[in-house]
Amino acid sequence: MYFGLLSAILGKAIDRDTITRSDNGGRRIIDSIKVDTLLKERGKYLSRIPPPLRDREVQFWAVYIQKDTWDIVNGPMLDYLLTSGFHDRPDLWSEPLYAVIFSIDVFLDQVDAFVRRPDRVYGWGSRDLRRCNLVASFPPFRNSIRKSGRCASLAWCLQLSASDWYRLLFLPNHAPPRDHSDCNDRRCKQSGSTKTRHREGCPVKGCVSLGSDMESVLKCISEDGLPLIQCEEDEQGEVRIETVRGNLLSNYTAISHVWSGGMGNQAENTLPRCQLRYLLHSIADLPPPPPLSIHPATSSSSYNMKQSLTTKLPSQWRPRRRRALFWIDSLCIPTTPDKNDNDVSDKRRKTLGESKSKAINSMAQLYAGAEQVLVFDPEIQHLPYDAVAGDEYALALCIKCCPWMARSWPLQEGALGQNLYMRFKDRSVLLTSSIYHRVGLPSFRMLEHYQQFPTILEEGPIPSPTTRLSEVWDSLANRSSTMTEDLPAILATMLDRSAEEILGLRGDRRMKALLKMEETLPLAMFYQPNSLVAGRWNPNVPGSDPGQTSAHPHFGELRVTQEGLILGTRSLRDTSAIIVHGEPRSDHFTLEVNGADGEGMRYSISQDSSKVKKGDNDTSKSLFFLSKLCATGAPKYHGACFSVNTLQSGRLTIRFKTTVLWNYLDTKADPVGETYTNCQWLEDYEGEKFKEVLVDIGTYRF
């Protein structure tokens, strides 16, 4: 099927050997680079065709091939597959129908990347958010991921495009593979350990732990300085560290890591000497940063001159000492003592807690001000770089599916860093802007802190405040953290808000406080898992719930005001707004809407009825927003239910009740649960054309 569709696009027969290659296991797989080359050649041919004919052919590609093909897949073929009982199959290739559908999906992704349709809504992994995901809810695909040596929870967390999923199944793996037998379908348990460990091969005995000078750390933080670690290796190879005071103009390296990799320490600010030696060697061996650096003294020209001089000197004349100035949270953010530790006074405990909050609040400037950010991932640092060298797709996918990308704190550390390096087994690699884009890592440069350094501008534009919330939300949504109480601080930092101020609020008020600081919010925020505070909507922090999805603004935007959130009905896209004269309270029911033109639509709705609560001012009417934002399971799409409160002067006031999932229901199919027929489109309600809808989210003081 794949090769037939590709031949139709290219207008010629395809020799399979020309676009496939053998992987390390001897299996024949599609070579995406060769396919892209063929598509580009086709594009060059089209560019030579006169514009009227060219536009007609491009339209044929977009509409007749992409849209119609997917409509067939998304209809009867997929519906049949969902009811075929193939969930016990050992892998995706053991079900021919699924293999056919998956190959079509891969094909559409590759063509879609070449002919970008303006009506597409792209999200994680450049996937069309309105296209059903053929991976997350299919156990055979999770089995295939597990067989490839990776965690099956990736199927839920990554939300990749089909072509990226195909590449991932044949991606080079680190050695030795980690044991994921105890991981579930939503979370990888390998990333939950925060135990400090010695380096592999370290004898442990005699390898003492070295700690930062905590009094120096506290003094630096209290005086608005930056505690840094000066690490040095003497002639005998012994490593020593010293805590020094720096600032954002110091030439330092910021370390980004996941604590499951062994460099974390929740109990005290120390690390084993073997880990410090590894850090020192890794920093000392970094390739030079690009010339566009906020520290001109460390440009590549001076670095290369130094290298050429030292490599030509006799070995006995070369400097043997290695030095590095770096920042790492394990040593530079004070640990807070256990609440049951009676040896720590209340005054000391308060000082440590306040210093920790202040240090966290400055992390955005810290990572943005570093000369380089060096990433240590527990999997990639065991992978030789040659395994992915020369293949940008493979490099990006290795990073995208690594544990570092699955954790919450590294998001801001990578997004804010000016020069981001990834540590492999044998070297460190500077990530380019194109890798950032392929990985799906947002790049937010904190230019307001460095206005005197115009050279740090790169090719990509700085995201506007309107889109930044959505990008940060989507990047955090399927990441995880062992310290969920830190998530509001991460979100605040990424939005350039005061993490210290947010952490000073009561836990159930932090998220709404952050949202009220924004000018606009995506309507899709109401499709996320949430809790009710004082009977009002309160969304969960992104990354705290595996059921969270994209908050793309395409499906509607809300304007933040003192009165509440105002939705202009004209901003609704790919979203149906339905008034129901009634209050559906069961878990499953059907809505049947007949418009003024006599045409009807039926929707199958699912909700958690235990979370539906009636407010004091609620009427007996409900408003459903049903978007085409795809869910990862069944039913297919996301939506939300609101109670209707008042209608005055063209403004409809509503209050959030619950999230829903929904499907279209064929007119010939049996309805699911009770059917509500007293329904109408929002624009037909009371015979008025609404100018706006006000969402009442309640008020409280901060």
- 127 and 11 within one domain: yes
Average pLDDT of the chain, as a whole number: 81
> What was the pLDDT predicted at 223?
93
Confidence of residue 198 (pLDDT cuts 50, 70, 90): very high
Report yes or no on 446 lying in a domain.
no
> What was the pLDDT predicted at 64?
58
Other C-beta atoms lying within 10 Å of the C-beta of residue 425: 14
Query: Helix axis angle, 51-59 relative to 32-47, nearest 10°?
Result: 140
- pTM score: 0.81
- 112 and 214 within one domain: no
Helix/strand/coil for 320: coil
DSSP string, 342-385: TTS-HHHHHHHHHHHHHHHHTHHHHHHHSSEEEEE-TTGGGS-G
- 216 and 151 within one domain: no
> What was the pLDDT predicted at 314?
45
Average pLDDT of span 448-466: 41
- Token readout for 416 is 């804010």
**From CA 575, how far away is CA 72, in angstroms rounded?**
22
Report yes or no on 457 lying in a domain.
no
Domain boundary among 352, 385, 417: 417
In this structure, the dihedral spanned by the alpha carbons of residues 212, 215, 219 and 225, taken in order and rounded to 10 degrees, is: 0
Return the top range by mean pLDDT from 90-104, 191-205, 512-526.
Answer: 512-526
- 213 and 176 within one domain: no
Of 103-112, 388-397, 575-584, 653-662, the poorest mean pLDDT is in 103-112
Instruction: Give yes or no for a contact between 22 and 31, defined as CB atoms under 8 angstroms apart.
Output: no
> What was the pLDDT predicted at 616?
55
- 144 and 244 within one domain: no
Q: Are strands 692-695 and 674-681 parallel, antiparallel or unpaired?
A: unpaired
- Between CA 411 and CA 418, with CA 412 as vertex, the angle to 5 degrees is 110
Confidence of residue 453 (pLDDT cuts 50, 70, 90): very low
**From CA 438, how far away is CA 697, in angstroms rounded?**
37
Question: H or E element: which one contains 511?
Answer: helix 510-516
pLDDT at 487 over 90: no
Report yes or no on 652 lying in a domain.
yes
Quote the distance between the C-alpha of residue 204 and its chain's center.
Answer: 37
Report yes or no on 424 lying in a domain.
no
- 67 and 102 within one domain: yes
> What was the pLDDT predicted at 225?
93
Question: H or E element: which one contains 8?
Answer: helix 2-10
- 300 and 163 within one domain: no
pLDDT at 448 over 50: no
pLDDT at 267 over 90: no
Query: Helix axis angle, 392-400 relative to 162-169, nearest 10°?
Result: 90
Domain boundary among 358, 388, 417: 417
The pLDDT tens digits of the residues spanning 407-429 come to 888 888 888 888 999 999 999 99
Domain residues for the domain of 60 are 2-187
Report yes or no on 386 lying in a domain.
no
- 118 and 247 within one domain: no
Report yes or no on 449 lying in a domain.
no
Looking at the 3D structure of the chain, how many domains does it have?
A: 3
Report yes or no on 397 lying in a domain.
no
- 254 and 111 within one domain: no
The pLDDT tens digits of the residues spanning 32-54 come to 778 888 888 877 777 777 766 66
DSSP string, 376-442: E-TTGGGS-GGGTTT-HHHHHHHHHTSHHHHBSHHHHHHHH-SSEEEE-SS-EEEPPHHHHHHHT--
621-632: buried (b, 16+ CB within 10 Å) or exposed (e) per residue?
bbbbbbbbbbbb
